[in-house]
């Protein structure tokens, strides 16, 4: 059966072309979608049809998607971590320079000149003097795909780099330049940084992490970059810090009404991932993950279900999304045995309160058997592939 994939935003064609039209009907106007591809469209109040199986976000942040509601309905939500990392890294390095040199103020001033321009430039340019990054200390909060790349680039700019990431993966650690110093806690970074750059997601733990208390722990004249999320920084506290001179510069990719009222802030209109290459990379990754889940049940880069993958060994696969409670595997295998369903291969992964089980079986089970699986307590959804 052809499965409908609905596009809620413009998704790069190089990505949607990865969805085989022999199996998928892709477009903005399709009804009853099995899958959705989205970038920034707000889905928080969106009603989901019962056929919906997965949502693929062409980007990293998923704050526009109701994750808890999706999980309860057995809808797998994907994102594309790292696909836009280079684009954001490059803009963050640009932000580093904008925080050091008053380029924005100088450009705006120069644009207003109307006559005897060369003379006025030489006379007035001293108002826009800055500092150099070479030899300064960059503090990096979050050393994941983007933060790690920013840290590595800063080393090559001649900066001393100190980073902290309590959740740093082994793979992420291997990718870091050996000159980067690892701090045990954020406070250690705050205390030594001439520049501070934020590369963590918005969570209950990180929301408002840059506030009057944490700013007080920083050097006088610190320059802060935020290319992660607006709500990591308390705008009113940032305003006070900039007015007092405690913070010398604040560059953010997330303009808000409050931030735009702060004199001297450089507010970029959320351009971090706005490159042709980034949009292509995100679209391709999102489409490939969505296709693999639809066709094979494999999950990679889901934000609400565990990563799981198994080679196909039979023509029929059962994919069971369920709560992570004791004895679920025993119930599945017992039911299969009772119904005369031969299990060829099986794998199970859990993530917090949820789990995912894949079972390759010989022959397609009867509808009544599948209904029994669906009726088991704690089962959210059963897919037969």
SS3 string, 191-243, reads HHCCEEEECCCCCCCCCCCECHHHHHCCCCCEEEEECCCHHHECHHHHHHHHH
Neighbours of 343 (CB within 10 A): 15
Query: How many Å apart are CA 349 and CA 193, to the nearest integer?
Result: 41
Residue reference for tokens 């696969």: 317
Torsions phi, psi of 158, nearest 5? 85, 20
- Residues labelled catalytic: 229, 257, 270
Query: How many Å apart are CA 221 and CA 224, to the nearest integer?
Result: 10
- Structural contact between residues 335 and 372, judged by C-beta atoms closer than 8 angstroms: yes
- Structural contact between residues 57 and 273, judged by C-beta atoms closer than 8 angstroms: no
- Structural contact between residues 124 and 60, judged by C-beta atoms closer than 8 angstroms: no
Query: How many Å apart are CA 22 and CA 196, to the nearest integer?
Result: 50
């Amino acid at each position: 059966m052809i499965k409908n994939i609905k596009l809620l935003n413009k998704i790069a064609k190089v990505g949607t072309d990865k969805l085989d039209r022999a199996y998928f009907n892709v477009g903005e106007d399709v009804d009853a979608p099995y899958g959705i591809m989205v970038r920034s469209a707000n889905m928080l109040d969106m009603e989901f049809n019962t056929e919906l199986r997965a949502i693929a976000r062409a980007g990293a942040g998923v704050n526009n998607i109701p994750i808890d509601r999706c999980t309860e309905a057995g809808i797998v939500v994907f994102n594309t971590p790292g696909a836009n990392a280079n684009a954001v890294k490059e803009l963050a390095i640009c932000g580093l320079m904008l925080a050091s040199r008053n380029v924005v103020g100088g450009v705006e001033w120069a644009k207003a000149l109307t006559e005897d321009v060369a003379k006025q430039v030489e006379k007035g340019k001293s108002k826009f003097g800055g500092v150099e990054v070479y030899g300064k200390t960059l503090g990096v909060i979050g050393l994941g795909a983007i933060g790690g790349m920013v840290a590595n680039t800063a080393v090559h700019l001649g900066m001393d780099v100190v980073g902290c990431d309590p959740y740093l993966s082994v793979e992420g650690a291997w990718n870091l330049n050996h000159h980067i110093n690892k701090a045990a806690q954020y406070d250690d970074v705050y205390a030594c940084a001439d520049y501070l750059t934020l590369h963590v997601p918005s969570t209950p733990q990180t929301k408002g992490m840059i506030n009057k208390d944490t700013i007080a722990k920083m050097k006088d004249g610190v320059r802060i970059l935020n290319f992660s999320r607006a709500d990591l920084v308390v705008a009113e506290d940032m305003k006070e810090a900039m007015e007092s001179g405690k913070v010398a510069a604040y560059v953010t990719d997330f303009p808000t009404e409050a931030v735009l009222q702060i004199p001297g802030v450089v507010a970029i209109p959320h351009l971090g991932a706005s490159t042709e290459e980034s949009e292509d990379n995100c679209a391709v990754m999102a489409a490939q993950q969505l296709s693999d889940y639809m066709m094979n049940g494999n999950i990679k880069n889901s934000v609400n279900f565990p990563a799981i993958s198994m080679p196909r060994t039979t023509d029929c696969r059962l994919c069971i999304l369920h709560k992570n409670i004791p004895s679920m595997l025993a119930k599945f295998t017992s039911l299969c045995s009772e119904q005369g369903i031969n299990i060829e291969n099986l794998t199970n992964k859990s993530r917090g309160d949820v789990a995912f089980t894949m079972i390759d079986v010989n022959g397609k089970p009867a509808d009544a058997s599948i209904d029994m699986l669906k009726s088991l307590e704690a089962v959210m959804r059963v897919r037969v592939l």
